[in-house]
A = this chain, B = another copy of it.
């Protein structure tokens, strides 16, 4: 195997696939990047057996072939090389020879035969969605997935395609985030994608309107973005019937400036976090909302002007769950909807119906 490739192009390719390299693994070869020199391009692959990423980059191939190099060492070498053409060849005893201007490296490599192949996905039927929309869907839901490995389905997000709409849903038993997006589709579908996969996809895709192609099989999801392919295992099991949880009506409705609400809750949570559940209390009546919290550290009293209709309400929440969602809201104003102080509260953007966030209240000791 012998090829040459420009340092910057090779580095950017390494940076993409490296996200799938296993950080802790009992299989040493998974710490590697598989590099195959084909006619006029290289194929780089990395996988931790959950996620696999493949990237294609232009190169001048003199002899075809493949190797597996240690991801960390190889990426550091390429990163430190000058902005010039890099020649790489496989020599005797599995040695890789790397040359760039006046620098020469000889490093050991793994046998490429031992590298696991990525699963083959039939791309019979695929969905297309713009990258910025998909990025936004991930950003607004994935934080609400559960960290608790004892309920595996909740460590992923439901991706549900029905009637030309893609619903992405995450929930952890305390809150639920639902984001809807338009998608062209003739086939409905429903899978659970691990949160880690979505976070990695989020790092790879751009904030523009170029299309991302998604293929879903029974066990895998395949994402294709330009020269990059990412394959992920799906989570097995039945997702919670989330539609049942969403309240159909409300008794009180508040319109409030997102920024003011976030600032007030963040201040209130400064003393709240000493307690166990970051408890902050909301008292809503007329045109104002009072947010209070207290602990051994002290107490806080915040007041915000609001638009309000319906019944007065006094309700308490874990401030973390509100701060999480208010930080990712793009709208200047949000609606809050309440029924009783024991039933879930709802947060929605004012400008559209594409996002719903549900949060369970904390029972006040006086109830």
Contact = CB atoms under 8 A, between A and B. Distances in A.
Contact of A267 (B80, B267, B302): B80
Nearest to A77: B270
Interface in A90-121: 95-96, 102-108
A110 to B, nearest CB: 13
Nearest to A266: B80
A100 to B, nearest CB: 9
A78 to B, nearest CB: 10
B300 A102 contact: no
B107 A298 contact: yes
Contacts of A80: 263, 266-267, 270
Contacts of A103: 264, 267, 300-302
A325 to B, nearest CB: 18
Interface in A273-309: 296-304
Stoichiometry, as copies per complex, reads 2
B270 A108 contact: no
Contacts of A84: none
Contacts of A300: 103-106
Contacts of A95: 298
B267 A299 contact: no
Contacts of A297: 70, 73, 107-108
Residue of A95, A105, A107, A302 ringed by the most chain B CB atoms within 10 A:
A105
Contact of A299 (B102, B105, B266): B105
A209 to B, nearest CB: 36
B298 A82 contact: no
A249 B42 CA distance: 54
A325 B21 CA distance: 33
A95 B82 CA distance: 61
A271 interface: yes
B107 A76 contact: no
A81 interface: yes
A299 B302 CA distance: 63
A289 B18 CA distance: 34
A275 to B, nearest CB: 14
A198 B329 CA distance: 43
B102 A304 contact: yes
25 contacts: A70-B297, A73-B297, A73-B298, A76-B270, A77-B267, A77-B270, A80-B270, A82-B263, A95-B298, A102-B264, A102-B302, A102-B303, A102-B304, A103-B264, A103-B267, A105-B267, A105-B271, A105-B298, A105-B300, A105-B301, A106-B300, A107-B271, A107-B298, A108-B297, A108-B298
In the A-B complex, the 9 residue pairs with the smallest Cβ-Cβ separation, listed nearest first, are: A107-B298, A102-B303, A104-B301, A80-B267, A106-B299, A106-B298, A105-B300, A76-B270, A103-B302
